[in-house]
Amino acid sequence: MRVLKFGGTSVANHQCVLSVADIAENELSLGQVALVLSAPAKITNHLVAMIEKTVAGQDIVSNMSDATQIFADLLSGLKAQQPRFDYERLKGLVERELASLKQTLHGISLLKQCPDSINASLICRGEKLSIAIMESVLQARGHKVTVIDPVKNLLAHGHCLESTVDIHESSKRIAALNIPADHIILMAGFTAGDENGELVVLGRNGSDYSAAVLAACLRADCCEIWTDVDGVYTCDPRAVKDARLLKSLSYQEAMELSYFGAKVLHPRTIAPIAQFQIPCLIKNTANPNVPGTFIGDALIDDGQKDQDMPIKGITNLDHMAMFNVSGPGMKGMVGMAARIFSVMSRKGISVVLITQSSSEYSISFCVPQKEWVKAHNALTEEFYLELKDGVLDPIDAIDNLAIISVVGDGMRTQPGTSARFFSALTRANINIVAIAQGSSERSISAVIENNAATTAVRLCHQMLFNTAQVVEVFVVGVGE
Ligand code: ASP
Ligand code: MG
């Protein structure tokens, strides 16, 4: 069994949808195939914008007409190019979906607010339509198809806009469906159901996570994430033009890279595939012959692993703020760290990086910049007495920061990586605000000024990967 996930750009128009069907058909020779689809590109953004604008009493005409046009073009393209495509049925379905969307938005405009559960049920409509369209395309090509309803079969817990799937229970539900081996399986990404059977979503860009979860539930041989780039690069190829494509990554490297900002990997995707040891491939829908990036522990063909690369990537997380809790009372006081991080967790603020000086005089940590006010208020409330009595110094907060991280399993055996990393930053005259290295030695991170992040990534890439450097040569002389 292989699970193939296609992102929004891979189902953006009728040619893309037909390529997805071709890719799925090609893979049938390797065994049964399950497809997880995102909404066509831009659709989820339009849905989110329409909800926000409706709540704010603004006009949604342009979003609605753009979304309607995307589906109209998709369907008319398929009608022209895919023999036996059931155009009339799909056209009716899209029209009904859009009409129900308009009706719900009308309700929201009267209420002037949108409850989270309604929000969840609206923003995943694109995925539902992608599946209906793909089902028709595959049926038109003579395939038998089973559609898994993620609301009934993926049990999820947590907030309805950012739920987490219970793989154990979902595996049982999916096994009970007894899907015949000669069927192509389809499932909408981004979507699941809570313990009451109500629809929930898995967070923006959550379709990768859906695919990872389905691969885990089906104990698939491989989870393929098809996207619009050739694989995972040593750093963002849009920022650094000689970024290198990686042949392989371990689960831990993939986890660190995604956590620290590599855009092709969604951080939550790696956990289920690592837990169930499912090999994963990142592939390009527009360029299917490129081997892509392999994520897993199993050795693939000799030479396929980047064993000679101790460092796999450099990433940056922008728009961070750093808090520093310090004071004479910190030394030896048991439970300070626990209090800091439990108050952050109670407020739902994710802490991205932590450092503590060994003198125990201070603890510093980064949170996303948008959480600045919330985090600051939470800390001043929690330590009200300590601050009043001078046991703690006033809480120090720095904003406009970025975290730049170097990731690679091989760093633990290769001394000198951090020296080269820091000397690259020094050469660029970039001030380092804080440093963190996990004891796994798999990543080193430096906190720097936000607007230096792109330069830092570029220079570190040059220094650590020995890529082309611009050398200016002047020849001075008086001639013969
Ligand atoms: N369509 C959803 C989004 O754009 C989920 C996804 O594409 O992964 O966030
Ligand atoms: Mg997407």
Phi-psi category of 352—alpha, beta or left, where left has phi over 0 and alpha has psi -120 to 50?
Answer: alpha
Residue 293 annotated as part of some ligand binding site: no
Q: Supply the pTM of this predicted model.
A: 0.87
Whether the CB of 189 sits within 6 Å of ligand 1: yes
Q: Which of 73-82, 231-240, 339-348 shows the highest mean pLDDT? A: 73-82
Beta-carbon neighbours within 5 Å of ion ligand 2: 7-8, 38
Whether the CB of 36 sits within 6 Å of ligand 1: no
Residue 263 annotated as part of some ligand binding site: yes
User: Which of the four pLDDT bands, split at 50, 70 and 90, describes residue 303?
Assistant: very low
Instruction: Please give the residue range of the domain that contains residue 106.
Output: 2-228
**CATH code (residue 324):** 3.30.2130.10
Is there a single domain that holds both residue 177 and residue 322? no
**What ligand 1 atom has the least distance to the C-alpha of 207?**
8
Sheet holding 183-188, edge to edge: 144-148, 183-188, 33-37, 2-6, 222-227, 280-284, 293-295, 248-249
Is there a single domain that holds both residue 212 and residue 337? no
**What ligand 1 atom has the least distance to the C-alpha of 202?**
5
For residues 3, 9, 15, 18, the Cα torsion angle rounded to the nearest 10 degrees is 10
What percentage of the chain exceeds 90 in pLDDT? 75
**CATH code (residue 84):** 3.40.1160.10
216 located within any domain: yes
- Pick from 176, 201, 228: which residue ends a domain? 228
- Tell me the CA–centroid distance for residue 188 and ligand 1, in Å: 10
Question: Is-contact 464 443, C-beta < 8 A?
Answer: no
Question: Is-contact 206 218, C-beta < 8 A?
Answer: no
Per the structure, the count of domains in the chain is 2
Q: How far apart are CA 427 and CA 393, in angstroms?
A: 34
- Model pLDDT, residue 302: 42
Phi, psi of 404 (to 5 degrees): -115, 130
Whether the CB of 204 sits within 6 Å of ligand 1: yes
Can you give the three-state secondary structure of 275-317, one letter per residue?
A: HCCCCEEEEECCCCCCCCEEECCCCCCCCCCCCCCCCCEEEEE
Is there a single domain that holds both residue 428 and residue 328? yes
Is there a single domain that holds both residue 329 and residue 452? yes
74 located within any domain: yes
pLDDT digits (tens, 9 = 90+) for 411-461: 887 788 888 889 889 988 999 999 988 767 788 999 999 999 999 999 999
pLDDT digits (tens, 9 = 90+) for 221-258: 999 999 989 999 999 888 888 899 999 999 989 988 88
Is there a single domain that holds both residue 104 and residue 223? yes
Of the listed ranges 10-24, 117-131, 230-244, the least confidently predicted one is 230-244
- Model pLDDT, residue 469: 61
257 located within any domain: no
- Tell me the CA–centroid distance for residue 424 and ligand 2, in Å: 34
